[in-house]
Structure formats: C-alpha cells, structure tokens
Amino acid sequence: MNTRLLNGRILLISDDLESNNIWAYILTQKGIDVLTAGSANSAIELFTKDPFDLVIINYYFDINEALTLSRQFRSEIANPLLLFTSTQEESVLLDAYEVGIDECIIKPISHRLFVAKITAWLRRSWTVPTEALDHLQANDLRLDPAQRQIILGENSVIKLTNLEFRVLHLLMSHRGQVLDTNVIVDRVWGHTGNGDSILLKNVIYRLRRKIEEDPSRPRYLQTMAGEG
C-alpha cells in the first residue's frame, strides 16, 4: 500500500455538487484526505486555513472563472494544479497551461484512470515527503515539516501555506547564509517557471507577519540589499 498516497491532501473545487461528492467519495475510498469547495471564495478560504498537496479544479459552467481561480492558486502554490474540463478546444487548453495548470484532464474519464492520474500527481507534489524532513529550529522558532506549521515559543502554533513552508524550510536549512533571490525562486517554484521576485517578496511579507514580533524590524527573515 502506498503510504504517500494515504497521506495526500486534496482540495477538490467544483461548481457541480453532485460531481464533487462522487469524485470525493472515490478518492476517500483510496485513503486520500479530500476537502471540497463549491465556489472560488470557499476554496480560497479553505486554502488559507490549511495547505494541500494537490488542487483539482472541476468547473462545468464557467471556464473563465476556472482559469481565473487557477491563476490565483498558481501564484500561491508550487504543488500540482489540475483542471478537469469537457472541452478539447485547443485555445482553451493553451490558456489553461498559460495560467499555470499542470495537466488538463479531459472528461469523461473512467474512475480507474482518474485515480491513477491523481496518484501519479500526488507522488510529484513533494520530492521528499514532508514527514521525512527534520525539524528545524532557530532560537525559539521551530519548524514542523510533518504538520507544515511553526511552533513559536511554548504554545503558539502557526499554520503555513505550501509556499510559505517551502520558503521557510529552505531559508532555515541555510541559516546564517545569504541566498540570492533567483536561487530561492528556482528552488521553491522549480520547473514550473511560475515564480518571480515579486511573488517571493509577497511570501516573505506574509511570513514576517506570522512569525516576527515587529515585521518592520525582522529578527528571523532579513533582507540584504543587493545580495538576497
């Protein structure tokens, strides 16, 4: 049995409740933790509360809204982002890949092939399972990879999004070193090519608001002008 699969967390977004329930049932039967959302707003709310290994967008009625949501998620996550669509129109598929979709899955699709694709993408969502990563600590700040959270001091627990975790884990793994912005972008966003210095600055800004007592005078996440 694939333990990585059993540990997967998926956010399934669909504007069709019946479809959402069917796909969620199939995945939970395979031991995958699935949360569902019926709208863009509820999806964003769920995402900000807890990270996911994989996001599936399954819109039936408004492809433009699906693409807008895909673009928004891609700016926040480095994990796989899949789009279920019933169209094979090339222009639509090209637009989807342009906004950051990793794979357009054409419907209808058999249950077996659906699960096989999800399994394959879950294996790619993190090269090394977070459970296998060591806890990292800097003074009174401890990073827990298995839960993707920060323990600050004795009792303060702070949840991280996937990108926040990846950036912080990279920086804490090179504590005391100055990392070039391009190096960070390359390591965090990888082959997707969807990262840039502006997105990185946004992630750093959010991390500072979460972990720094005074974000304007950071103690942990410091920037060296012209260096990194």
What's the CA gap between 97 and 111, in Å, rounded? 24
What's the CA gap between 12 and 71, in Å, rounded? 16
Secondary structure (3-state) at 35: strand
217 burial level (CB within 10 Å; 0-12, 13-18, 19+): exposed
Which segments within 59-198 are labelled E, that is strand? 81-85, 103-106, 136-138, 141-144, 149-152, 156-159
Q: What does the pLDDT profile of the chain (228 residues) look like in tens digits?
A: 343 434 578 999 988 888 888 999 999 888 888 999 988 888 888 877 766 788 999 887 788 888 988 888 877 776 788 999 888 899 999 999 988 898 999 988 999 999 999 988 887 765 444 544 567 888 888 888 877 788 887 778 888 887 788 888 888 888 888 888 888 887 777 645 555 788 888 889 999 999 888 888 888 888 887 666
What's the CA gap between 225 and 222, in Å, rounded? 10
- According to the model, what pLDDT value does residue 190 have? 63
What's the CA gap between 171 and 151, in Å, rounded? 16
